[in-house]
Amino acid sequence: MWAASPLEGERTCKPGTLLAPPGCLATPAPTSPDDWMLGKRSKVVRRRRFTYAPIGIIVKKARVRRLQTVKKAEEKDDAGRVTRRYLCMGMQKPVQVPEGTLKKMLLIVQAHDVKTCQQKLIAQGIITPESQFKLGEYRKLFEKSCLLLHLPQQSGRLFCSCPLFQWTGHCCHMYAASKILGCKKYSLLPLPRAAEVRSETEEDSLEPQKKPKRRRVSTT
pLDDT in tens, 51-101: 999 999 999 999 888 888 999 999 888 888 888 999 999 999 899 999 999
pLDDT reported for residue 85:
92
- Residues composing the chain: 220
The model carries a pTM of 0.69
pLDDT in tens, 196-217: 545 544 544 445 555 555 555 5
Query: Who's near 79: CB < 8 A, 6+ residues apart?
Result: none
pLDDT band at 183 (very low <50, low <70, confident <90, very high): confident
pLDDT over 50 (residue 126):
yes
pLDDT over 90 (residue 105):
yes
Cα distances (Å, whole numbers) of residue 92 to 74, 89, 162: 24, 9, 9
pLDDT in tens, 133-151: 999 999 899 989 999 999 8
